């Protein structure tokens, strides 16, 4: 039995679309780009090609933002995707890298413990001791490899990286070169190299970027989806895709369950009901689209393995409660209030109300 | 048509299109006409004399208004980048004759019986109202451009080197548009307008002009081409028997803000500042610096607001804008690309500063100026003169002004602002004067809107000077106002310093009080009169007459008070309570030593009448208590009476509401009163209590939370120390009091050097 990865990289999952785009794309491409900026934008936003191939939308939202992002990368300016958790920052950056360089794997995951070696290079100490300092003993970071290859490097959660480590990026971004002083050598970035960083602007333990570093990025703020329909579409497409890859037998036969969850998320997030009649409290959780997706996926899994294969209110209720109630005291009050004042008054939501009440 | 005998070149333009303006300038240079005809009512010819003056600074608008009904007015706004402006300036600079051609305003502004009344309030703005849609904009949209100027640049400018050839192409395109929509040949208004334009052209040809350039909206271009002229008789027939009215014209200053579509000017433009920038760049031959100059201006504006927009990032923003144009497949960088680049690079992704950029640069805050000699309605001239004398320059930007009324020059400013407000020109809006209780300070927010020029024309019907117009306006109003409106007018006269008008108003007021039967109106008249009497001296107004009238009004109101309080329902009682309150404020304002006896007697009479509505009665009791006319024990007796089981609980609650409305101090510091209230509340039957809860809650909700808490604490304390009416039983004994005071006394004694006091008595 061949090993099947749980989740394929973007460039593998969408290999057909990328190939189809490359086939019809006759516009000028920046050096070492697999596609022209136009084709990259089309890849992300979806559309139909002249030869009839349909490209699925990877990002549902403003065309403007995607165009700014692609244009930024084309100017060799680094791109900073900013937004609250769950607004498809990582998703967009992965697909951008896949479309531009055909490789989304050159990624540094930012954490509070990310050392400078992750951004620059480390040493293979066995080799260093045995052979002395040489290029062979250098262990390049993903950024260094991207520079050598002229492709896109991704840095996730840039603001989680300690400030002194962040600053290692400054010379990389402005001089496009990384010195290796031990060898009196340097790595110069090849054409096509660029950096996509993602960062959270609303989270705990964030290290603000220095203005020197900030200045080297073009910033694109990814917003939460504008309309209910957009958000439902996003959740639906992603849940179906995940369901397929996890081989879950349950199918979501109607959008109504998704619409309900998305409505609840939007209402709690904005602090008012969709008809703007009732004010409600907002819980401490971000309640992003990504969380709506995971609530639905969870529900589908429950329905498939423990239910009758049809997604019902009971299947959604547990993970819905878990997503909303992050703080066991405050959020529970908010959630109870919402259930009693809003959910209870909607007759067609009676099953959901009952399911949530049973959970306590 | 060769038979016309002259070369008539029609330059169809886009109103406020910088591209059109540039082409018009080139076409005029090429053609070198001996007459330039511009779309606009022929009455505007009277303004040409000033049109070439250097101190006529765009944006300005040609203002045409009906003399007897100035509300019916048309504006013809011109910005520096308007083709009409460019053509006019071009001709005036070279001494070439210019005239305007359109349906004369004497007809256009005449009241037509068929037109609905509501159109009167809406300003007719040249083409905006009835005119054709922005035909060039339509063509551009069809071609896939979101900015018509960019389409003009690509589709028109780049096509032919000769500007005249470009306009010929536009004419052809417009013929096709007109043939397609048919509006131009169907709409009678448009038919008349084009006939009137042709009439002017025919007259010019007859005069023997040889090369005539016509600058008009592109949509009209095909109809004005000599080849398409119908017979002269056809046009004459269209233009006979039109209604007439008398009109006057002038230049009015305009703002960039008003040019923008957002403020409702249909033929306007979304980004006057951007168009201005384009036009200036083009006319200086800086085509390749459009982007960098724009972004530099944006960066400077951001820096002024304290945002770090370093020069290096401006370079990056320019590069991003160009890359964006490429990604979007556009031939050149436009405003959307510049905005996006500004947001992503200069504003670090935040859209908020963009709003600032939009207001300050994309739209712009420029305000036009007109020369000193511009014909103005006499009133406007007086306003202008006064503004100069007081050194108050009208500005389109909002500014704040704080005036100290004790200084004569500042008081004059205040008077001018008040008078203009009275005349319907709210140039200054009263603002919060800040933390001061003094009456000598006034704060204003000043912002001049160009439409005030019209308001001034309208107010000019009342008089030729500010003071004259304001006085006659007040006199006119005083003839028909009722009593409380008159009283308000009295106050207006005072702050506007209109002594002549004040006499009229006060006399009208005195006459009206004699016949006034409604006691509420009388009561409401007291406060403004009293304020006039009290503060009139600050304004150096003669208030002896006011004092006499005030005394009469107080006397009449006092006499009428008790009968007026009979059989009131809840709403009427609430009105009466407010009126009594207002009157009391007024009376106490002028009373040197206690209120006049007649007023006090009237209040006592109302208080002793048990039939009066609880709300009013309660309030009157409170006033009497505060004024020291009744003492606490008397009030406690009344309260107990009113709240006893005998009278209905609802009436009792209303009384309490009237009585306690205001502050909680009374309840906090008078244990006897609190005791009565408490006993009453705990004594009412449970079902009655349910009815009472809303009323009581309303009363107590007006208190501060801290006050409510304190009341609660006192009630708790009262419970533990047993029920008490007089406070003696539950209160501390003398010994206890002494013990409490002892530490303080001993400390003071120590400080004074009297030695230790100790616990000895």
Between residues B452 and A190, the one the model is more confident about: A190
pLDDT in the model for residue A99 = 93
**Per residue in B417-450, pLDDT tens?**
888 888 888 888 887 766 555 667 788 888 888 7
Lowest mean pLDDT among A21-35, A218-232, B360-374: B360-374
Domains of chain A: which residue ranges? Answer: 10-221, 228-359
Mean pLDDT of A203-221: 83
pLDDT bracket for residue A1 (50, 70, 90): low
Between residues A220 and B679, the one the model is more confident about: A220
Which residues does chain B have within 8 Å of residue A219's beta carbon, measured at their own beta carbons?
Answer: 344-345, 348-349
Chain A: give the shortest CA distance to residue B320, in Å.
6
pLDDT in the model for residue B127 = 39
Residue found under tokens 């409505």: A263
What Rg value do the Cα atoms of chain B yield, rounded? 37
Residue of chain B nearest A220, judged by CA positions: B349
A10-221 adopts what CATH topology? Rossmann fold (3.40.50)
Within a 10 A sphere around the Cβ of B406, how many other Cβ atoms? 11
Mean pLDDT of B27-47: 89
Which residues does chain A have within 8 Å of residue B312's beta carbon, measured at their own beta carbons?
Answer: 215
The alpha carbon of A177 is separated from its chain's Cα centroid by a whole number of angstroms, namely 28
Residue found under tokens 């005539």: B212
CB contact under 8 A, A215 and B319: no
Predicted confidence (pLDDT) at residue B136 exceeds the cutoff of 60: yes
Chain B: give the shortest CA distance to residue A70, in Å.
8
CB contact under 8 A, B345 and A218: yes
**Per residue in A244-293, pLDDT tens?**
777 776 666 667 788 888 888 888 888 788 777 777 778 888 788 888 88
**Are the beta carbons of A285 and A334 closer than 8 angstroms?**
no
Which residues does chain A have within 8 Å of residue B344's beta carbon, measured at their own beta carbons?
Answer: 68, 72, 218-220
CB contact under 8 A, B323 and A75: yes
Between residues B542 and B288, the one the model is more confident about: B288
Which residues does chain A have within 8 Å of residue B341's beta carbon, measured at their own beta carbons?
Answer: 68
Which residues does chain B have within 8 Å of residue A82's beta carbon, measured at their own beta carbons?
Answer: 349
Residue of chain A nearest B313, judged by CA positions: A215
Backbone φ and ψ of B146, nearest 5°: -90, -15
Chain A: give the shortest CA distance to residue B334, in Å.
14
CB contact under 8 A, A71 and B326: yes
Which residues does chain A have within 8 Å of residue B348's beta carbon, measured at their own beta carbons?
Answer: 214, 219
Residue found under tokens 């300038």: B25
What Rg value do the Cα atoms of chain A yield, rounded? 23
Residue of chain A nearest B322, judged by CA positions: A71
**Are the beta carbons of A198 and A81 closer than 8 angstroms?**
yes
Within a 10 A sphere around the Cβ of B412, how many other Cβ atoms? 17
Between residues B401 and B129, the one the model is more confident about: B401
Closest in A41, A75, A221 to B320, CB measured: A75
Which residues does chain A have within 8 Å of residue B345's beta carbon, measured at their own beta carbons?
Answer: 77, 218-219
pLDDT in the model for residue B325 = 86
Report the residue of B307, B317, B324 to disrupt the A interface, i.e. the one with the largest count of A CBs within 10 Å. Answer: B324
d(CA A106, CA A142): 5
The reply to whether B348 touches chain A by the CB within 8 Å rule is yes
**Per residue in B105-128, pLDDT tens?**
888 877 665 444 333 333 344 434
Chain B: give the shortest CA distance to residue A237, in Å.
27
pLDDT in the model for residue B169 = 85
- Cβ neighbors of B537 (< 8 A, separation 6 or more) are B543
**Per residue in B239-249, pLDDT tens?**
888 888 888 88
Mean pLDDT of B10-29: 86
**Are the beta carbons of B427 and B447 closer than 8 angstroms?**
yes
pLDDT in the model for residue B535 = 73
CB contact under 8 A, B313 and A215: yes
CB contact under 8 A, B308 and A211: yes
d(CA B528, CA B534): 10
d(CA B309, CA B300): 8
CB contact under 8 A, A218 and B320: yes
Chain A: give the shortest CA distance to residue B142, in Å.
21
pLDDT in the model for residue B720 = 52
Chain A: give the shortest CA distance to residue B335, in Å.
13
**Are the beta carbons of A127 and A136 closer than 8 angstroms?**
yes
Closest in A38, A80, A219 to B327, CB measured: A38
Q: Which range in A41-45, A209-213, B497-501, B526-530 is most confidently predicted, on average pLDDT?
A: A41-45
Work out how many CB contacts closer than 8 A connect A with B: 58
Between residues B639 and B748, the one the model is more confident about: B748
Q: How many residues does chain A have?
A: 360
What pTM was computed for the model?
A: 0.65
Q: Which two tokens stand for residue B388?
A: 């100069």
The reply to whether B214 touches chain A by the CB within 8 Å rule is no
B77 in helix, strand or coil?
A: strand
A247, exposed or middle or buried, with CB in 10 Å at 0-12, 13-18, 19+? exposed
Which residues does chain A have within 8 Å of residue B343's beta carbon, measured at their own beta carbons?
Answer: 68
Q: Reply yes or no: is the peptide bond before residue B89 cis, omega within 30 of 0.
A: no
Mean pLDDT of A90-101: 93
CA distances from B119 to A2, B113, B246, B439, B524 (A): 79, 12, 19, 43, 38
Which residues does chain A have within 8 Å of residue B340's beta carbon, measured at their own beta carbons?
Answer: 64, 67-68
Between residues B684 and B413, the one the model is more confident about: B413
d(CA B386, CA B667): 55
CB contact under 8 A, A67 and B348: no
**Per residue in A164-186, pLDDT tens?**
899 889 989 989 999 999 889 99
d(CA A332, CA B451): 56
Chain A: give the shortest CA distance to residue B311, in Å.
11
Pair type for strands A138-140 and A121-123:
antiparallel
Q: Which ranges constitute the DSSP H helices of chain A?
A: 10-13, 15-24, 37-45, 63-74, 89-101, 116-119, 125-131, 142-149, 163-166, 168-175, 211-214, 228-245, 256-270, 289-305, 313-324, 330-338, 350-359
Closest in B319, B341, B348 to A214, CB measured: B348
Q: Which two tokens stand for residue A270?
A: 């904005």
Which residues does chain B have within 8 Å of residue A221's beta carbon, measured at their own beta carbons?
Answer: 349-351
Task: Kindly state the DSSP code that residue B5 receives in the 8-state scheme.
Answer: -
CB contact under 8 A, B327 and A64: no
pLDDT bracket for residue A129 (50, 70, 90): very high
**Per residue in A41-62, pLDDT tens?**
999 998 888 888 888 888 888 8
Q: Which two tokens stand for residue B644?
A: 């006893």
**Are the beta carbons of B368 and B59 closer than 8 angstroms?**
yes
pLDDT bracket for residue A108 (50, 70, 90): very high
**Per residue in B140-199, pLDDT tens?**
877 777 777 778 777 776 666 678 888 888 888 888 888 887 777 778 888 888 889 998
Residue of chain A nearest B345, judged by CA positions: A218
pLDDT bracket for residue A240 (50, 70, 90): confident
Between residues A337 and B27, the one the model is more confident about: B27
**Torsion angle of C-alpha atoms A345, A346, A348, A349, degrees rounded to 10:** -90
**Per residue in B720-756, pLDDT tens?**
554 444 444 455 677 777 888 888 888 888 888 776 6
Q: Which two tokens stand for residue A267?
A: 């209402």
Report the residue of A63, A73, A74, A75 to disrupt the B interface, i.e. the one with the largest count of B CBs within 10 Å. Answer: A75
Residue found under tokens 């809406």: B122
CB contact under 8 A, A219 and B345: yes
B134, exposed or middle or buried, with CB in 10 Å at 0-12, 13-18, 19+? buried
CA distances from B256 to A92, B335, B365 (A): 40, 17, 6
Mean pLDDT of A208-233: 86
Between residues B144 and B622, the one the model is more confident about: B622
The reply to whether B342 touches chain A by the CB within 8 Å rule is no
The alpha carbon of B717 is separated from its chain's Cα centroid by a whole number of angstroms, namely 54
Q: In three state form, how does the secondary structure of B351-412 look? A: CHHHHHHHHHHHHHCCECECCCCCCCCHHHHHHHHHHHHCCCCCCCCCEEEEEECCCHHHHH
The reply to whether B307 touches chain A by the CB within 8 Å rule is no
Closest in A41, A80, A221 to B327, CB measured: A41
d(CA B104, CA B197): 9
d(CA A104, CA A107): 7
CB contact under 8 A, B344 and A38: no
**Per residue in B556-609, pLDDT tens?**
888 888 888 877 888 888 888 888 888 888 888 877 666 677 888 888 888 888
Q: Which two tokens stand for residue B48?
A: 């040409």
Chain B: give the shortest CA distance to residue A25, in Å.
13
Which residues does chain A have within 8 Å of residue B295's beta carbon, measured at their own beta carbons?
Answer: none
Q: Which two tokens stand for residue B574?
A: 């609430």
pLDDT in the model for residue B119 = 37
pLDDT in the model for residue B597 = 79
pLDDT in the model for residue B12 = 86
Predicted confidence (pLDDT) at residue A125 exceeds the cutoff of 90: yes
pLDDT in the model for residue B2 = 41
Residue of chain B nearest A64, judged by CA positions: B340
Which residues does chain B have within 8 Å of residue A70's beta carbon, measured at their own beta carbons?
Answer: 327
d(CA A313, CA A296): 11
Closest in B336, B344, B350 to A218, CB measured: B344
Closest in B310, B316, B340 to A77, CB measured: B316
Average pLDDT of chain B? Answer: 79
The reply to whether B706 touches chain A by the CB within 8 Å rule is no
CB contact under 8 A, B324 and A68: yes
**Per residue in B449-501, pLDDT tens?**
877 876 776 676 677 678 888 888 888 788 777 777 887 788 788 788 887 78
Work out the percent of chain B whose per-residue pLDDT is above 70: 85
Q: Which two tokens stand for residue B280?
A: 């200036």
Closest in A67, A82, A214 to B324, CB measured: A67
Report the residue of A67, A68, A217, A220 to disrupt the B interface, i.e. the one with the largest count of B CBs within 10 Å. Answer: A68
**Per residue in A142-172, pLDDT tens?**
999 999 999 999 999 998 899 889 988 998 9
d(CA B135, CA B181): 11
Residue found under tokens 């002395």: A132
């Amino acid at each position: 039995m061949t090993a099947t990865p749980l989740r394929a990289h973007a460039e593998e999952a969408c290999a057909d679309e990328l190939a189809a785009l490359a086939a019809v794309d006759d516009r000028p491409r920046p050096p070492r780009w697999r596609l022209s900026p136009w084709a990259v934008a089309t890849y992300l936003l979806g559309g139909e090609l002249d030869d009839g191939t349909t490209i699925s939308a990877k990002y549902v939202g403003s065309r403007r933002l995607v165009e700014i992002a692609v244009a930024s990368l084309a100017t060799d300016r680094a791109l900073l995707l900013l937004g609250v958790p769950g607004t498809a920052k990582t998703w967009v950056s992965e697909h951008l890298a896949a479309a531009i360089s055909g490789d989304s794997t050159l990624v540094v995951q930012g954490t509070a413990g990310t050392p400078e070696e992750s951004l620059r290079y480390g040493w293979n100490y066995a080799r260093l001791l045995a052979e002395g300092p040489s290029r062979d003993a250098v262990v390049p970071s993903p950024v260094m490899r991207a520079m050598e290859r002229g492709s896109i490097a991704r840095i996730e959660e840039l603001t989680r990286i300690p400030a002194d480590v962040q600053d290692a990026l400054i010379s990389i971004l402005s001089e496009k070169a990384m010195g290796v002083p031990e060898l009196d050598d340097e790595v110069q970035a090849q054409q096509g190299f660029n950096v996509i960083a993602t960062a959270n602007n609303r989270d705990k333990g964030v290290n603000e970027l220095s203005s020197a570093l900030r200045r080297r990025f073009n910033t694109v703020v990814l917003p939460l989806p504008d309309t209910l329909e957009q958000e439902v579409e996003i959740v639906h497409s992603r849940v179906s895709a995940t369901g397929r890859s996890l081989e879950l037998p349950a199918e979501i036969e109607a959008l109504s369950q998704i619409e309900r969850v998305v409505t609840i998320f939007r209402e709690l997030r904005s602090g008012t009901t969709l008809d703007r009649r009732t004010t409600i409290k907002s819980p401490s959780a971000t309640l992003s689209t990504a969380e709506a997706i995971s609530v639905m996926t969870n529900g589908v899994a429950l329905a498939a393995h423990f239910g009758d294969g049809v997604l019902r209110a009971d299947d959604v209720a547990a993970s819905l409660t878990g997503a909303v109630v992050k703080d066991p005291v405050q959020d529970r009050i908010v959630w109870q209030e919402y259930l009693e004042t809003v959910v209870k008054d909607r007759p067609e939501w009676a099953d959901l109300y009952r399911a949530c009440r049973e959970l306590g | 048509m060769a038979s016309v005998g002259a070369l008539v070149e029609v330059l169809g333009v886009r109103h406020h299109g910088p591209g059109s303006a540039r082409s018009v300038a080139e076409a005029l240079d090429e053609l070198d006409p001996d007459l330039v005809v511009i779309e606009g009512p022929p009455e505007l010819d009277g303004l040409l004399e000033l049109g070439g003056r250097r101190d006529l600074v765009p944006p300005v608008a040609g203002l045409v208004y009906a003399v007897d009904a100035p509300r019916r007015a048309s504006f013809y706004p011109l910005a520096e980048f308007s083709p009409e402006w460019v053509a006019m300036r071009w001709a005036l600079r070279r001494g070439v004759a210019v005239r305007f051609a359109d349906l004369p305003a004497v007809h256009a502004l005449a009241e037509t019986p068929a037109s609905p009344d509501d159109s009167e309030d809406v300003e007719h703005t040249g083409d905006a109202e009835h005119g054709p849609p922005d035909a060039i904009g339509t063509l551009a949209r069809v071609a896939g451009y979101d900015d018509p100027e960019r389409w003009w640049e690509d589709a028109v400018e780049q096509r032919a080197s000769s500007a005249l050839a470009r306009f010929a192409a536009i004419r052809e395109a417009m013929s096709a548009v007109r043939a397609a929509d048919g509006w131009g040949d169907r709409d009678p208004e448009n038919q008349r307008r084009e006939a009137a334009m042709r009439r002017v052209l025919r007259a010019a040809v007859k005069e023997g002009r040889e090369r005539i350039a016509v600058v008009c909206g592109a949509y009209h271009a095909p109809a004005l081409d000599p080849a398409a002229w119908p017979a002269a008789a056809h046009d004459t027939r269209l233009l006979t028997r039109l209604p007439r009215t008398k009109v006057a014209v002038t230049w009015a200053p305009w703002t960039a803000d008003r040019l923008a579509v957002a403020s409702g000017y249909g033929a306007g433009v979304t980004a006057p500042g951007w168009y201005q920038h384009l036009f200036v760049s083009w006319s200086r031959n800086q085509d390749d610096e459009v982007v960098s100059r724009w972004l530099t201006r944006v960066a400077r504006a951001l820096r002024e607001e304290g945002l770090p927009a370093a020069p290096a990032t401006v370079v990056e923003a320019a590069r991003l804008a160009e890359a964006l144009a490429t990604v979007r497949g556009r031939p050149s960088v436009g405003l959307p690309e510049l905005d996006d680049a500004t947001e992503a690079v200069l504003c670090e992704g935040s859209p908020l500063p963009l709003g600032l950029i939009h207001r300050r640069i994309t739209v712009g805050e420029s305000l036009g100026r007109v020369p000193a000699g511009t014909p103005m309605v006499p009133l406007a001239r007086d306003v202008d003169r006064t503004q100069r004398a007081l050194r108050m320059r009208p500005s389109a930007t909002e500014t704040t002004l704080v005036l100290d009324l004790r200084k004569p020059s500042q008081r004059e400013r205040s008077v001018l602002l008040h008078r203009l407000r009275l005349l319907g020109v709210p140039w200054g809006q009263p603002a919060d004067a800040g933390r001061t209780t003094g009456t000598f300070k006034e704060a204003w927010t000043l912002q001049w809107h160009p439409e005030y020029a019209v308001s001034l024309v309208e107010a000019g019907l009342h008089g030729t000077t500010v003071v004259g117009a304001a006085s006659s306006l007040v006199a006119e109003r005083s003839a028909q106002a009722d009593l409380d409106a008159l009283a308000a007018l009295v106050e207006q006269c005072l702050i506007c310093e209109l002594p002549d008008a004040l006499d009229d108003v006060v006399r009208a007021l005195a006459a009206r009080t004699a016949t006034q039967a409604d006691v509420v109106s009388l009561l409401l008249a007291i406060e403004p009169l009293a304020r006039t009497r009290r503060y009139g001296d600050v304004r150096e107004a003669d208030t002896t007459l006011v004092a006499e009238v005030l005394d009469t009004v107080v006397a009449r109101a006092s006499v009428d008070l008790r009968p007026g309080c009979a059989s009131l329902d809840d709403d009427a009682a609430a009105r009466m309570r407010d009126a009594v309150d207002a009157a009391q404020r007024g009376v106490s304002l002028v009373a040197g030593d206690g209120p006049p006896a007649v007023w006090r007697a009237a209040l006592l009479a109302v208080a002793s009448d048990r039939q009066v509505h609880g709300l009013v009665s309660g309030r009157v009791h409170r006033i009497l208590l505060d004024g020291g006319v009744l003492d606490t024990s008397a009030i406690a007796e009344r309260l107990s009476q009113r709240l006893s089981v005998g009278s209905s609980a609802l009436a009792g609650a209303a009384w309490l509401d009237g009585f306690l409305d205001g502050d909680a101090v009374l309840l906090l510091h008078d244990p006897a009163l609190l005791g009565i209230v408490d006993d009453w509340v705990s004594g009412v039957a449970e079902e009655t209590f349910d009815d009472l809860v809303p009323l009581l809650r309303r009363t107590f909700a007006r208190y501060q939370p801290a006050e409510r808490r304190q009341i609660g604490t006192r009630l708790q304390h009262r419970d533990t120390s047993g029920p008490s009416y007089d406070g003696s039983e539950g209160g501390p004994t003398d010994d206890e009091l002494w013990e409490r005071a002892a530490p303080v006394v001993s400390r003071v004694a120590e400080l004074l050097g009297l030695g230790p006091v100790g616990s000895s008595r």
